[in-house]
A and B are shown apart, each in its own frame.
Chain A
Amino acid sequence: MSSTLLISILSMAVLYAVSVLYGAVGEIFAEKAGVMNLGLEGIMLMGAVSGYLVAVNQKNLGLAMLTVVLVGAVLGLIFAFLTITLQADQTVAGMAMLTFSTGMSGFIGKSVSGVNANLAFEAISIPGLCRIPILGPVLFQQNILVYLMYFIIPLSVFYINHTRPGMILRALGENPAALDSAGYNVFALRYAYVVFGSVMTAVGGAFVSLAYTNFWSDGMTSGKGWIAFALVVFSSWNPLTAVFGGLLFGAISAIGVDIQTLFPAIPSQIFATLPYIATIIALVFTTGNFRNRRSAAPAALTIPYDREKR
Chain B
Amino acid sequence: MGELILEMKNITKTFGSVIANQDVCLKVYAKEIHALLGENGAGKSTLMNVLTGIYRPDSGQIFCHGKEVSVNSPKDAVDLGIGMVHQHFRLIPTLTVAENISLYTEKKGFLLNPAKMQKRIAECSRSFNLEVDPAAVVWQLSVGEQQRVEIVKLLYHGAEILILDEPSAVLTPQEAQDMFNVLRKMADSGKAVIVISHKMNEVLNNADRITVLKDGRMEDTMVRKDATLDRLTRAVVGKQDYKEHFRTQKNISPDVVFSMEHVCAKNDRNLDELKDISFDIRRGEIFGIAGVAGNGQRELSEVIAGLRPVTSGKIMADGADLTCASARERREKGIALIPEDRLETGLVPDLNFSENIILTRYSSSRYSRKGFLRFDRMRRDAEDYTKEYEIRHGGFDLPVGLMSGGNQQKLLLAREVSGNPKLIVAAYPVRGLDIGAADMIRQILLQQSEKGTSVLFISEELDEIFHMCDRIGVLCDGELMGIRNTSETDVFEIGQMMAGERKNSEKEASSYA
A and B touch in the complex (CB under 8 A): yes
A residues within 8 Å of B by Cβ? 162-168, 170-171, 174-175, 177-184, 291-294, 299, 307-308, 310
* Contact size range, B: 20 to 34
Q: Which residues of A contact B15 (CB under 8 A)?
A: 308, 310
Binary contact readout B88-99 vs A (1 if CB under 8 angstroms, 0 otherwise): 001111110001
Least Cβ distance of A156 to chain B in Å? Answer: 15
Query: Which of A162, A293, A308 contacts B55 (CB under 8 A)?
Result: A308
- Tell whether, in the assembled complex, residue B54 and residue A181 are in contact, meaning their CB atoms are under 8 Å apart: yes
Check: B75 CB closer than 8 A to any chain A CB. yes
A162 and B111 in contact, given A168-B103, A174-B94 (Cβ under 8 angstroms): yes
Check: B110 CB closer than 8 A to any chain A CB. yes
Binary contact readout B444-476 vs A (1 if CB under 8 angstroms, 0 otherwise): 000000000000000000000000000000000
Least Cβ distance of A288 to chain B in Å? Answer: 15
7 other contacts beyond A171-B95, A184-B75, with CB at 8 A cut-off?
A: A164-B102, A164-B106, A164-B109, A164-B112, A171-B92, A179-B103, A308-B15
A180 and B74 in contact, given A167-B103, A299-B93, A307-B54 (Cβ under 8 angstroms): yes
- Tell whether, in the assembled complex, residue A294 and residue B269 are in contact, meaning their CB atoms are under 8 Å apart: yes
Check: B270 CB closer than 8 A to any chain A CB. yes
- Tell whether, in the assembled complex, residue A163 and residue B111 are in contact, meaning their CB atoms are under 8 Å apart: yes
- Tell whether, in the assembled complex, residue B78 and residue A167 are in contact, meaning their CB atoms are under 8 Å apart: no
- Tell whether, in the assembled complex, residue A175 and residue B92 are in contact, meaning their CB atoms are under 8 Å apart: yes
Check: B84 CB closer than 8 A to any chain A CB. yes
Check: B344 CB closer than 8 A to any chain A CB. no
Check: B512 CB closer than 8 A to any chain A CB. no
Identify the 4 closest CB pairs spanning chains A and B, nearest first: A183-B75, A178-B90, A182-B104, A292-B270
Q: Which residues of A contact B376 (CB under 8 A)?
A: none
- Tell whether, in the assembled complex, residue B90 and residue A175 are in contact, meaning their CB atoms are under 8 Å apart: yes
Q: Which residues of B contact A170 (CB under 8 A)?
A: 92, 94-95
Query: Which of B52, B73, B109, B270 contacts A291 (CB under 8 A)?
Result: B270
Query: Which of B52, B109, B266, B269 contacts A181 (CB under 8 A)?
Result: B52
Q: Which residues of B contact A166 (CB under 8 A)?
A: 112
- Tell whether, in the assembled complex, residue A167 and residue B95 are in contact, meaning their CB atoms are under 8 Å apart: yes
- Tell whether, in the assembled complex, residue A171 and residue B54 are in contact, meaning their CB atoms are under 8 Å apart: no
Check: B268 CB closer than 8 A to any chain A CB. yes
13 A-B pairs (CB sep. < 8 Å)? A164-B102, A164-B106, A167-B95, A167-B112, A168-B103, A170-B95, A171-B92, A174-B93, A181-B74, A181-B84, A183-B79, A184-B75, A294-B269
* Complex Cα gap A88–B94 (Å): 27
Q: Which residues of B contact A180 (CB under 8 A)?
A: 54, 74
- Tell whether, in the assembled complex, residue B54 and residue A163 are in contact, meaning their CB atoms are under 8 Å apart: no
Least Cβ distance of A306 to chain B in Å? Answer: 11
Query: Which of A164, A175, A182, A308 contacts B111 (CB under 8 A)?
Result: A164
Least Cβ distance of A28 to chain B in Å? Answer: 15
A182 and B112 in contact, given A174-B94, A177-B90 (Cβ under 8 angstroms): no
Q: Which residues of B contact A177 (CB under 8 A)?
A: 90
Least Cβ distance of B324 to chain A in Å? Answer: 19
Q: Which residues of A contact B79 (CB under 8 A)?
A: 183
A164 and B90 in contact, given A182-B78, A182-B103 (Cβ under 8 angstroms): no
- Closest B residue to A308 by CB, please name it: B55
- Closest B residue to A293 by CB, please name it: B270
Q: Which residues of B contact A182 (CB under 8 A)?
A: 74, 78, 90, 103-104
Q: Which residues of B contact A162 (CB under 8 A)?
A: 111-112
Least Cβ distance of A41 to chain B in Å? Answer: 30
* Complex Cα gap A294–B268 (Å): 9
Q: Which of B250-266 contact A (CB under 8 A)?
A: 266
- Closest B residue to A166 by CB, please name it: B112
* Complex Cα gap A165–B103 (Å): 10
Q: Which of B268-318 contact A (CB under 8 A)?
A: 268-270
- Tell whether, in the assembled complex, residue B104 and residue A163 are in contact, meaning their CB atoms are under 8 Å apart: no
* Complex Cα gap A181–B94 (Å): 18
Q: Which residues of A contact B111 (CB under 8 A)?
A: 162-164
- Tell whether, in the assembled complex, residue A167 and residue B99 are in contact, meaning their CB atoms are under 8 Å apart: yes
Q: Which of B36-61 contact A (CB under 8 A)?
A: 52, 54-55
Q: Which residues of A contact B270 (CB under 8 A)?
A: 291-294
Binary contact readout B207-228 vs A (1 if CB under 8 angstroms, 0 otherwise): 0000000000000000000000
Query: Which of B73, B103, B107, B112 contacts A171 (CB under 8 A)?
Result: B103
- Tell whether, in the assembled complex, residue A163 and residue B110 are in contact, meaning their CB atoms are under 8 Å apart: yes
- Tell whether, in the assembled complex, residue A164 and residue B110 are in contact, meaning their CB atoms are under 8 Å apart: yes
Q: Which residues of A contact B92 (CB under 8 A)?
A: 170-171, 174-175, 178
Q: Which residues of A contact B54 (CB under 8 A)?
A: 180-181, 307-308
Q: Which of B81-135 contact A (CB under 8 A)?
A: 84, 86, 90-95, 99, 102-104, 106-107, 109-112
* Complex Cα gap A181–B79 (Å): 11
Least Cβ distance of B244 to chain A in Å? Answer: 32
- Closest A residue to B15 by CB, please name it: A310
Q: Which residues of A contact B104 (CB under 8 A)?
A: 182
